[in-house]
Amino acid sequence: MILAFDFGGTKNTCAAFQRNATGAYELVARERRASPPQADGAYDYAVMGAMARQLLRGETPDAIGISFGGPARASQGLVVLSHHVPGWENSLLRDQVAREFRTRVAMDNDANAAALGEARFGAGRGCASLLYITVSTGVGGGWILNGEIYRGAKELAGEIGHVVIDPHGPPCVCGRRGCVEQLACGRAIARMARQALEREPTRGGILRGLIENDYAQLSGLRVHQAAEQGDALAQDIMAQAARNLGFAIGNVICLMNPARVILGGGVTNAGAKYFENVRAAARANVMPELRDAVDIQPAQLGDDAPLWGALALVG
């Protein structure tokens, strides 16, 4: 039995994997707990341990893979910090788990884990190289090159969310302007929608109804829902967010020519039209000889990608 830990920031999940008769891994059991507002690192760690022991029923696991939702150094098994939960700073999480469960443990951040999960078990099977991008409240990414996670010299590779595509664009939390994240993530969609609603008082009726005329209720999901219901303003915003992401992906393809780019995260649940717009913008932003090399696919493992990736780290 192999365990996978997914420290997700707002929720923590523990899954048990076993090989079936054909030798393929199956997710045979899982436990999940929301991380309460007062949680700190020690609390989340204790809850994960309790879930693990529940799944193990006294057995020793063959290995444990860990996906951590935040900056982490895989080579050292070190959590740098969590953006959601205090008290994780500079934790040697990998070795702590290895001591407690007396087994082999590997760890990586959630974007790298999800990339590996999709590569081995999801939308990236058969691809030697891929970039996995998660478009959610923020934008993150992870590289698989030659079949393995590529982490970069300081284990900070994959930050497509902070590639600048418009130096005059909106300010970013990183201190610069016009990062992909600020032009494509859920919060960006909400911000762009609010600006459009303020600018165009006669448009966006469906969206205004959905949020009860309360801008505080604006979210990427609401804008997507309004677009689905035919709101032209919301459709414009969703298309713009998709084009912004696609433009950035085109640049990535010129630079790295990956076999595939895989999009996961809540915003990418926006459906076929969203993907059409991303692909069209990417194709328009590569050299002619690379147009056929634009292969952008939806993730297949959803929220489970980090768990499958954690499995792949040790399986």
Interface positions with a second copy (CB under 8 A): 71, 127-129, 141, 143, 145-146, 150-160, 162-164, 167, 174-176, 247, 250-252, 254-260, 284-290, 292-293
Nearer of residues 227 and 313 to a second copy, judged by Cβ: 313
Nearest 5°: phi and psi at 299? -60, 155
Burial of 62 per CB tally in 10 Å (0-12, 13-18, 19+): middle
Q: Where are the beta strands (DSSP E) in 234-287?
A: 260-264
> What is the 8-class DSSP label of residue 169?
S
* CB 232 to a second copy: min, Å: 24
Token output for 32: 């999940």
What is the distance between the alpha carbons of residues 95 and 79, in angstroms, rounded to a whole number?
11
* CB 296 to a second copy: min, Å: 13
What is the distance between the alpha carbons of residues 163 and 245, in angstroms, rounded to a whole number?
11
Nearer of residues 50 and 156 to a second copy, judged by Cβ: 156
* CB 283 to a second copy: min, Å: 11
* CB 147 to a second copy: min, Å: 11
* CB 152 to a second copy: min, Å: 3
The CA-based diameter of the chain, rounded to the nearest angstrom, is 64
* CB 180 to a second copy: min, Å: 9
Beta carbons within 8 Å of 64's beta carbon, 6+ residues apart: 2, 3, 4, 5, 52, 97, 98, 101, 103, 104, 105, 314
Q: CA 115, 152, 73 angle in degrees (round to 5)?
A: 75
What is the distance between the alpha carbons of residues 204 and 26, in angstroms, rounded to a whole number?
46
What is the distance between the alpha carbons of residues 279 and 4, in angstroms, rounded to a whole number?
33
Nearer of residues 55 and 293 to a second copy, judged by Cβ: 293
* CB 150 to a second copy: min, Å: 6
Q: Using an 8 Å Cβ cutoff, are 88 and 70 in contact? A: yes
Residues in the chain, overall count:
315
